[in-house]
Amino acid sequence: MQKKKAFTLVELLVAMAIIGILIGLSLFGIAAAQRNARDVARRAAAEDINAGIADYLNLTQAFPRSIKFEDDSVIISPTLAQSKANCTAADKCVLIPLKGAAVIDGPVASGGSSGVLLAGNTTSTDSSQWCFESQTDGYSLAVRLENGDVHQAGTSTTTCEPRSN
């Protein structure tokens, strides 16, 4: 009787287990890369908002008292009555589009007398939590990253704290 050369059932099960472990490990790596990419988008959006505030400063010679978070954009204007449709430089209005994880999906609330503006959903990784506050030495702007850290991007030495998860 001639022996057939083939894999045993145990060898096949071991190979499948190794492949399963490798796939599981790669999913953790992919999740971390996606989380980092979303945080990079949030930081980039904060810098875009800073650039928009600088444009507003050039138009009006003053920092904005408040800014308007509107789903997928930020509107900086002398009055918060401006909308995306009628925001032009002639009206001293600056429109900053937000993309990806920087988009706001959730409530926008003002902190009352303190003037702190909080925006965003505290339970979604697909949106961001933002904070803006006018200060005597400029403005505070912050966005919460997925690991819980807060990226401060304003010009003021006073920090702003977005909603916490």
Residue 158 lies in a domain: no
Give the CA distances from residue 28 to residues 24, 25, 153, 154, in Å, rounded to whole numbers and listed in that order.
Answer: 7, 5, 30, 33
**Phi-psi map region of 32: left, alpha, beta (phi>0 left; psi -120 to 50 alpha):** alpha
**Domain coverage including residue 128:** 9-152
pLDDT at 99: 80
Residue 19 lies in a domain: yes
Structure tokens at 150: 């807060």
Residue 161 lies in a domain: no
Residue 59 lies in a domain: yes
How many domains are there within the chain?
1
pLDDT tens-digit profile of 54-96? Answer: 999 998 898 888 788 877 888 888 877 777 777 887 888 888 8
pLDDT at 152: 92
Residue 85 lies in a domain: yes
Residue 98 lies in a domain: yes
DSSP state of 136: T
pLDDT tens-digit profile of 22-53? Answer: 998 888 889 888 888 889 988 999 999 999 99
CA distance 41 to 72: 13
Higher per-residue confidence, 102 vs 57: 57
CA distance 118 to 105: 12
CA distance 74 to 48: 10
pTM attached to this predicted model? 0.74
